[in-house]
Amino acid sequence: MNAEAAVDIFKSLVLFALYIMSPFLGVVLVVGLIMSLLQSVTSIQEQTLTFVPKLIALAGVLLLLAPWALRLLSEYTVQNIAKMGGMGP
C-alpha cells in the first residue's frame, strides 16, 4: 500500500463518519438551540434542563435511523474488505 492509497482510505473514512453522524448531531444541535432560547425567554438558568430533551431527541433519532446507519455501515465495510483484496502484491 502506498501513501496515496492510505490517504484516500483515511479521507473516505472521515467523510463517511461525518455523513453517518450528521443527522444525529443536527438533531441535538437544534434541540439544544430551542431549549437555550426557551431558557432565555423564561429566564430559567437550570443547567440540567437542556440535557434531558437532548437525550430524548437523540434516543428517538437513534431508533428511527438505526436501520439506515447499520445498512450504510455494513455496505461500507463490505466495500473496504473488497478493496483489501486488490491491495496485495
Give the pLDDT of the chain (89 residues) as one tens digit per residue.
678 878 888 999 999 999 999 999 999 999 999 999 998 898 888 878 889 999 999 999 999 999 999 999 999 999 988 888 777 66
Domain span holding position 27: 3-85
Three cell numbers, residue 73? 455501515
Q: Please provide the size of the chain in residues.
A: 89
Rg (CA), the chain: 19
Whether this model's pTM surpasses 0.85: no
Task: Tally the domains of the chain.
Answer: 1
